[in-house]
């Protein structure tokens, strides 16, 4: 088994389905509503686990029904939650999601218990998560907690993947300590300060991050696939053709699968290609965690599917 430590968020998603997103000041009639477990940390932990990794989760939930739902779910998924505590002073985080008929989404996250995971908690947990083969993190905890996590992994020589979402500025001294950075197009623009609207512009933006000290950039480019950038140059890895119904958690599904592949010792291009397949399958189902495919489903999909011809964004 490949031991992956996910230090990150739990978010219960409250999802309203609409034909079109409301404009400012406008009210629209929804087509449906559902409550589903999600959060970038939780999604990525489940994705890595469903691809075969031994996963431990670190973070906080509220002492409420949503928190109990998460702990029950993770037990059923075989994910270690021994370091996850329930907090009485914070509710479990919630994501308020609008999903339109094209599968696009708009999301507001209320951090709740995620911001109850403090630096002291991180330091205590480090004696455990620094024993992992790889650490996976996002930006839904307090920034100072995630930045300290990156420093701890760097000092201990434990590889860390940072999915820089939700997008925010990251100091250069922190960027220089990241093993693998996985931005989407918007995040790549924000972190590099450069526009991203083509493969060549994605290369320039990724190169700017390499110059800041990031060891490897894996930029996710939607249906086009992904771009790998490191000291050896660039490699575009094509995506897979699917009919998207819901893009929620597609990036998280990708990141969890990528972490599993790297922890398993796969070459980067092979790990990214499989992660592309996992992300593609996720957009064919609604919801966050419910959309994340299991290993056998991914195997069959890769064998039977057709990758996108060429590479353009």
C-alpha span between 108 and 277 (Å, rounded): 27
Coil/strand/helix, residue 141: coil
Q: Which residue has the tokens 């087509």?
A: 31
Report angle CA 49, 3, 213 to the nearest 5 degrees: 105
> What token pair was written down for 225?
């696939």
Is 252 designated active site? yes
* Cα 153 from Cα 196, distance rounded (Å): 30
Handedness of CA 126, 124, 252, 37 (dihedral sign): positive
Helical (H) or strand (E) element with 34: strand 32-38
Cα(269)–Cα(236) distance, integer angstroms = 9
Q: At what angle do helices 250-263 and 40-50 cross, to 10 degrees?
A: 50
Catalytic site residue from 64, 232, 252, 299: 252
Please name which of 71, 89, 73 lies closest in space to residue 81, comparing C-alpha atoms. Answer: 71
CA 52 to the chain's CA centroid:
17
Number of Cβ within a 10 Å radius of residue 163: 29
Catalytic residues: 252
């Amino acid at each position: 088994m490949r031991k992956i430590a996910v230090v990150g968020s739990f978010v219960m998603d409250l999802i309203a389905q609409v034909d079109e997103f409301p404009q400012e000041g406008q009210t629209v009639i929804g087509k449906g509503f559902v409550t589903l477990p999600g959060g970038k940390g939780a999604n990525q932990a489940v994705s890595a686990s469903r691809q075969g990794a031994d996963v431990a989760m670190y973070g906080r939930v509220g002492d409420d029904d949503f928190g109990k739902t998460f702990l029950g779910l993770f037990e059923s998924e075989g994910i270690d939650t021994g370091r996850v505590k329930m907090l009485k002073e914070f509710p479990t985080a919630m994501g308020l999601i609008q999903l339109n008929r094209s599968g696009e989404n708009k999301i507001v996250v209320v951090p709740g218990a995620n911001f109850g995971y403090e630096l002291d908690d991180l330091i205590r947990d480090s004696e455990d998560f620094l024993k992992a083969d790889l650490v996976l993190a996002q930006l839904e905890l307090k920034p100072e907690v995630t930045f300290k996590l990156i420093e701890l992994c760097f000092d201990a020589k434990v590889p860390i993947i940072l999915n820089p979402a939700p997008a925010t500025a990251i100091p250069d001294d922190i960027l220089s300590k990241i093993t693998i950075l996985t931005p989407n197009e918007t995040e790549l623009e924000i972190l590099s300060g450069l526009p991203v609207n083509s493969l060549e512009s994605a290369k320039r933006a990724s190169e700017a991050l390499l110059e800041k000290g990031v060891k490897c950039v894996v930029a996710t480019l939607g249906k086009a696939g992904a771009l790998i950038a490191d000291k050896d140059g660039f490699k575009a890895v094509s995506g897979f053709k699917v009919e998207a119904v819901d893009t929620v958690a597609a990036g998280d599904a990708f990141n969890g699968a990528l972490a599993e592949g790297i922890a398993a010792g796969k070459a980067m291009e092979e790990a990214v290609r499989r992660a592309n397949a996992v992300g593609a399958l996720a957009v064919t189902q609604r919801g966050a965690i419910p959309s994340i495919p299991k290993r056998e489903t991914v195997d069959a999909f890769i064998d039977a599917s057709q990758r996108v011809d060429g590479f353009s964004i």
